[in-house]
Structures are given as structure tokens and as C-alpha cells.
Amino acid sequence: MTPTARVLTTGWISGLALFAMAATPAAATTITIASSDFDDGSQGWTRLAADPGISWQSAGGNPGGYMRYDNNVPYGAGSTTSIYAPPAYLGNWSALGVTDLSYEANIFTTGSVASIGDYTVVISGPGGAFRWLGPAPNPSVSWLPLEATLVESAWAAMSGDWGALLEDVTELRIEMAYYTNYTPFEITGIDNVRLNASAVPEPACSTLLGVGFAVLGLGGLLGRRRSRARRPG
């Protein structure tokens, strides 16, 4: 191979590497860290012993199974009327790039309403505890989509520091009672919980692709050199 041909080959390799880098989209994409459709069970979500009114139901969700809260079942001391997330939802939310927690809530019956609360999510850990300030309950929409966006202004501090909390979220609970009421009591449901994050593609990926092309090109050059060396003469 002549020196000119070698320069041309190197230029071709560099061009491919540049093309690979330029072709990689820089925009963030949404990924789901954890999700629960409750179609085959409670899928790791738990409740306190003080909340026997919370149960998994195999049908009546959106669609399929869902988690149900029936306030007609007497609750015990320390009740939080909440479902608690399995470990897949927990961890360093800062490093994971968590953007929001979304779920669907249904109020099958409000019961006789004495006072009205909010849709509520609570996250806590060694760094503190914050409560999502959700909207007022809406019993007119079946399976209302809700989104607890992970910006500090959408949450109220119960203790600690927002940044410190997000580095180690050890508990996530979604409250299922929205009213203070008297008999008959409220019956509600939750389905389709998702913890979403933003994934920015690593530049290292496209760089590696470029290096890969370069290595392939170098391999080709060496191969041609060797085959030429074997020729007699």
C-alpha cells in the first residue's frame, strides 16, 4: 500500500468515527426504573398490619388487578392508609435521574365526606422525608392519571433536606385515603405505578464506536501488510 493510500484509509476511518459521534442523539430519553400493574398480585407492595382494609384485587383495575383500600374495614393504631413500594423503587434517585412517579387512582365511592385531603405520596430516607402535594381528590374520573414530578417545589418538607433525601430513598408510600368520613366510608384503588427517569446517552458510547472502527481499519492495514510480506520476491 502506498503512503497516499494509507492517509486516505485513515481519513475514511476518522470520518466514520465522526459520523458515529454526530449520529448519536444528545437528547435525554425517558426510561422506566420500576413499574407495577398488579395484574398477578401485589408485586412486592406491602401495607402495615394496622391497615387490613388494603388488599390486592385480581380484577376491576385498569385493566386487570389493582390495589384496593376499603375504609369500611376497621384500621388499627399507626395506620397510614398507604401502600409501600418494593426495593426496585428505592435507592439513589439523584444518580438514577428520577423525574417522576406516576400512578392511576380511582375513587369508587367517597363515602359520607366530612373533610377532604389530597392525593399524597411520601418519600423518606436518612436524609429526610418529603410529601408530594397532589391535587384534591377527583371522584368523577375513573382511574385518574397522577404524576408526582420530582422537583422540590412540588413537595413539602416533613424533615431533613431535599438533596440529601434523594441520594438515599429508603421508603416510598402512596396514600389511598383522601377523605375524613363517617359510615359509609370511602373505597379507592391504585393501579399502574411507574417510577420514571431521564437517561442521557453516554458520549463514551459513540467514542467507543469510533475507536472500534479505527481498530477495524488498523486490523485491515496490518492484515494487508502481512499478506504482502508473505509474497515471494
Can you give the binding site for Ca ion, defined by CB under 5 A? 37-39, 61, 64-65, 191
Cell 436518612 sits on residue = 126
At closest approach, how far in Å is the CB of 104 from Ca ion? 9
At closest approach, how far in Å is the CB of 81 from Ca ion? 20
The nearer residue to Ca ion, 37 or 70, going by C-beta atoms, is 37
At closest approach, how far in Å is the CB of 61 from Ca ion? 3
Cell 399524597 sits on residue = 120
At closest approach, how far in Å is the CB of 62 from Ca ion? 6
- Amino acid, res. 47: R
The nearer residue to Ca ion, 64 or 217, going by C-beta atoms, is 64
Which residue minimizes CB distance to Ca ion? 61
Among residues 127, 134, 133, the alpha carbon closest in space to that of 159 is found at: 127
At closest approach, how far in Å is the CB of 35 from Ca ion? 11
Let me know the angle formed at the C-alpha of 208 by 221 and 32, rounded to the nearest 5 degrees. 150
Contact between 36 and 45 under an 8 Å Cβ cutoff? The reply is yes
Question: What are the Cα distances from residue 60, in Å, to 32, 48, 68, 114, 190?
Answer: 24, 23, 10, 27, 11
Among residues 101, 79, 48, 104, the alpha carbon closest in space to that of 180 is found at: 79
Residue 174: count of CB within 10 angstroms of its CB? 24
The nearer residue to Ca ion, 51 or 191, going by C-beta atoms, is 191
Exposure string (b/e) for 106-116, b if CB count within 10 Å is 16 or more? bbeebbeeeee
The nearer residue to Ca ion, 20 or 146, going by C-beta atoms, is 146
Let me know the angle formed at the C-alpha of 71 by 65 and 72, rounded to the nearest 5 degrees. 105
At closest approach, how far in Å is the CB of 76 from Ca ion? 28
The nearer residue to Ca ion, 37 or 118, going by C-beta atoms, is 37
The nearer residue to Ca ion, 106 or 206, going by C-beta atoms, is 106
